[in-house]
Structure 1
């Protein structure tokens, strides 16, 4: 019985150590992301949007930007067609008078099926109205501090393009926290 208890104790300690190690790794990764400004090479990305919106380009002057980077390892259509989940963040653009903007950067890779599905979903308005297509993988090349892990591919930028917050908005707690941070930062900037 003592040996069973001892084995259980070892397993619990190993689990706690692994969790602490994982939290430390995540914290270090986010600190690395925050150590350099993010470059969004708008002029090198293909912008899918209306001509009138392209002319205004609200994303260039927004004080806060939520970057959603979807690379070829992810199902871009799976992410983008979940507009109902992203709706509160999309509505926040209008509410903030374009001081906040969602930036969807999609790297569909060389898979013709990915391109076909993406194009079809965009034509049928199943995706957000503005997408930046990064067919040459320029975004990641310009931002070597960004990790390859998908969990770090959605992040909030301030007016200097510094990472403020990292997290996937499909998690309701992360989405609510992201919205709270955006509202707080915009209300503080409007007081100045």
Structure 2
């Protein structure tokens, strides 16, 4: 009887884990579909640009950029995760620069004012500062209330109309990176 009880408990746990995973995947798919094609507001005037000269306000709309690749991070959720990818973002920047692609990469960091100095030092140390914007008043989220809660969907490509046309973080997944580069090759 003990064997049956143990087997029952084992299969019950496996079933529960699979059900949770399926439920989470369905939610992610639903959020992905509802986010794709949405127009995203980029309130650069309400954010600060992190530059090697210090932090200053800057309107980032680059006249030569048709597309904007956005990576948004709420530092209260997982800032070490994002900081670990700084060097990988520099690789993406160099691919875009080397191929003269009309895409601007923007990293938006929602962070409390007291954390700005430490964040700046982290990015300067890694040499990745030209594309970082600080959002201490959560203007990006306020302007885009439909933004999915799952941070897997917080890195995306916007077309010239600021509509989401690609979702995924190329610094965390080589398949996403390849899909992104293939997608860009097809649209340009």
TM-score range, shorter chain: 0.7 to 0.9
Residue 73 of structure 1 aligns to a residue in which SS? helix
Any conservation in 2 of the 1:47–1:131 contact (CA below 8 Å)? yes
How far off its partner does 1:21 sit?
0.7
How far off its partner does 1:23 sit?
0.5
Q: Deviations over 1:159-188 (max 9, x none)?
A: 3322233334442xx2x2333233223322
1:46–1:22 CA distance, 2 compared to 1 (3 A):
same
Structure with the higher fraction of residues in strand conformation: 2
Tell me, in whole angstroms, the C-alpha distance in 2 between the residues paired with 1:109 and 1:56: 21
1:124–1:108 CA distance, 2 compared to 1 (3 A):
same
TM-score normalised to structure 1 length: 0.76
Unmatched 5+ residue regions in structure 1? none
Q: Deviations over 1:75-134 (max 9, x none)?
A: 657634643222321112203314122111122213x2x122123345556433232222
The alignment status of 1:150 with 2:151, answered yes or no, reads yes
> How many pairs does the alignment contain?
182
Unmatched 5+ residue regions in structure 2? none
Structural RMSD (CA): 3.0
TM-score normalised to structure 2 length: 0.77
How far off its partner does 1:144 sit?
0.6
1:184–1:116 CA distance, 2 compared to 1 (3 A):
same
Query: Residues 15-54 of structure 1 correspond to what in structure 2 (within 5 A)?
Result: 15-34=17-36, 36-49=38-51
Structure with the higher fraction of residues in helix conformation: 1
Residue 12 of structure 1 aligns to a residue in which SS? helix
